[in-house]
Amino acid sequence: MGSSRATTPAGRRRSARRGAPASARRPAAKRPPAARRAAATKPAPRRPKPGKVRKAAPKPRRRPAAKPRGSLRARAPRVALIAVLALVTLAATYQLWFRNSGFVAVESLSITGVEGPEKRSVEAALTEAAGEMTTLNVDEDALMAAVARFPTVVEVRADADFPHDLALTVRERPPVLIASAGDRSLPVAGDGTVLAGVDVGDLKLPSIRVEELPPSGRLSGDPLEIALVAGAAPEPLLELVQDLSIGGTEGVQVELRGDVPVYFGTSDRADEKWAAAAAILADPKIDTLTYVDVRVAERPAVGGAAPAVTETTTDTSAPETAATEVVGP
């Protein structure tokens, strides 16, 4: 009777290992739990298709590191450019709009210095010209052009007071005498300018005769010397002038009211000579005069009177009359 051997599970496993190849009988290495989990979740690599070469995946580009903000020195040119553009914009706005806008229109105008016979006409012309200007855009050349037809006007100065006030100062050459040649007579200013077309109205002016009277421009020669002396006269004394002439050693002679001649010589320093004459005429100690000699402004002389502190000399130009030289005006 054949015998049978019972085998246990362990014995069966040993039999199986004995019949299996050596490689199969080697126990499998145990993986750590963490490695097993990673292997389970990791997708299987894709196999390349036959005939195609698998290209290596491109390396990811590294983003360049952010550059730090520029320093104040690096930003300075850009800031300066922005500032320049802003200034240019403001300047253009000012030039093209604001300085000519109604916000700075002339609303109050004052005119001084106009006293001659053309006063109203000059003021009207200046008012019209100034009405087209603003206090930020005053054109003195345009103002002068508006009164160029008036020979009495020499200069116009403007003084604007922001936002609406404008003051104009006019410098004139008023007529000081009437020059006549033949049947023509024209007023003449204190600088010898012939004021053609100027109506002196009721103004009382001394007259002189000239050989030739130009229609415009200035007198010349002796008539010019007379005009320069008359033009330097203070207004109160100019009103006392009765006659003007020139000749002899006395030069220019101005006859004042009361038949008192004043000898000027030449027109040089005429204003100083008039000041010396005015001091003599205002001296209360002198009540009688036959003439006043101011040919030398520092040493004026009078004839026909002797003030308290005087020095008596002989005047060769008038030998019949005692002359008194005043020591200081």
Q: Do residues 255 and 241 make contact, with C-beta atoms less than 8 angstroms apart? A: yes
How far is Cα of residue 63 from the mean position of the Cα atoms in its chain?
59
Q: Which among 76, 155, 82, 88 is positioned nearest to 122, based on CA atoms?
A: 155
Q: Helix, strand, or coil here: 254?
A: strand
Question: Domains of the chain (ranges plus CATH)?
Answer: 102-172 (3.10.20.310), 175-326 (3.40.50)
pLDDT digits (tens, 9 = 90+) for 234-250: 999 999 999 999 999 99
Helix (H) or strand (E) holding 258: none
Q: What is the pTM of this model?
A: 0.63
Per-residue pLDDT, 316: 39
- Asked if residue 278 lies in contact with residue 237, where contact means CB atoms within 8 angstroms, the answer is yes
Per-residue pLDDT band for 2 (boundaries 50, 70, 90) equals very low
Q: What share of the chain is helix, strand, coil (3-state, %, to 5)?
A: 30, 25, 45
Cis peptide leading into 163, omega within 30 of 0?
yes
Tokens at 172, concatenated: 């004139």
Pairwise CA distance, residues 166 & 87, whole Å: 28
CB-CB neighbours of 268 under 10 Å:
13
Query: Residue 182 has what pLDDT?
Result: 92
Question: Residue 95: phi, psi to the nearest 5?
Answer: -70, -40
Is the Cβ–Cβ distance between 263 and 292 less than 8 Å? yes
Distance CA 235, CA 255 (A): 15
For residues 41-48, give the mean pLDDT.
61
Q: Give the per-residue pLDDT at 267.
A: 97
Question: What is the reported pLDDT for 323?
Answer: 52
β-bridge pairing 207-209 and 175-181: parallel
Is 290 within 8 Å of 309 (Cβ atoms)? no
Q: To 10 degrees, the CA torsion angle through 256, 237, 208, 194?
A: 180
Residue-wise pLDDT for 124-162, tens only, equals 999 999 999 999 999 999 999 999 999 999 999 999 999
- Give pLDDT, residue 71: 59
**What is the rounded distance in angstroms from the CA atom of residue 294 to the CA atom of residue 88?**
63
Mean pLDDT of 270-284: 95
